[in-house]
Chains A and B, each alone.
Chain A
Amino acid sequence: DIVLTQSPLSLSVTLGEPASISCRSSQSLVHRNGYNSLDWYLQKPGQSPQLLIYLVSNRASGVPDRFSGSGSGTDFTLTITRVEAEDVGVYFCMQSLQTPITFGPGTRLEIK
């Protein structure tokens, strides 16, 4: 199974400041089509997860441009340029290169 690790596991950020979350994979996530099968999700309190970023760096529909993703192979990063109050929740990465599909443990973001 592909293991995803995230760091940090919790993050306390001042409103308007940047935040960055790392996701590392135990194996390369490069598909034979050249794309990396790594997505980022946000689970707000009491809600289902919502897609933020797909295939490493593509923002999902309606996602603010303060969210961006980068990386390739085994190292990936989600960056929020200016944290807003509505960004509170748990962020997790997910790989769909192979089954079993696996998830990172999640990073809890709170406002300082």
Chain B
Amino acid sequence: QITLRASGPALVKPTQTLTLTCTFSGFSLNTPGAGVNWIRQPPGKALEWLALLYWDDDKRYNPSLKSRLTITRDTSENQVVLTMTDMDPVDTATYYCQHRAGYWGQGTLVTVSS
């Protein structure tokens, strides 16, 4: 059974860096074809894709946010980490991680406020 869970701080201040962790089980990120997406959803708004990490360590970013995002893996811990720099109130959203095959984790709400 594939499960994922996003975790991180509930509140960050403007200009700070956000670090989110996706902890997963039920699959290996070393398996060809595997990949983990980060996706966010501002309150009441549409979903926005942020980044994707493939099994071969190929990384893709949303061009509109690329300069602020870094996606990495911790294979030993079955985790994928996303960092987003220079946070702004417009980045307030529920952040999700997702397996490429369609499994979504429980999201984590991040509020950006001073």
Measured between C-beta atoms, what is the minimum distance from B42 to chain A in Å? 13
The CA-CA distance from A53 to B76 in the complex, in Å, is 32
Interface size on A (CB < 8 Å)? 19
Interface size on B (CB < 8 Å)? 21
- CB pair A99 B104 closer than 8 Å: no
B83: CB under 8 A from chain A?
no
The CA-CA distance from A87 to B39 in the complex, in Å, is 23
Chain A residue at minimal CB-CB distance from B37: A101
- CB pair A51 B49 closer than 8 Å: no
Chain B residue at minimal CB-CB distance from A52: B102
Q: Mark A31-63, 1 if CB is under 8 A from B, else 0.
A: 000000001010000001111001000001000
- CB pair B37 A54 closer than 8 Å: no
Chain B residue at minimal CB-CB distance from A101: B49
With contact pairs A48-B107, A105-B46, A106-B46 given, residues A99 and B102 touching in the complex (Cβ less than 8 Å)? no
Chain A residues near B (Cβ < 8 Å): 39, 41, 48-51, 54, 60, 92, 94, 96, 99-106
Chain B residues near A (Cβ < 8 Å): 37, 39, 46-49, 52, 60-64, 96, 100-107
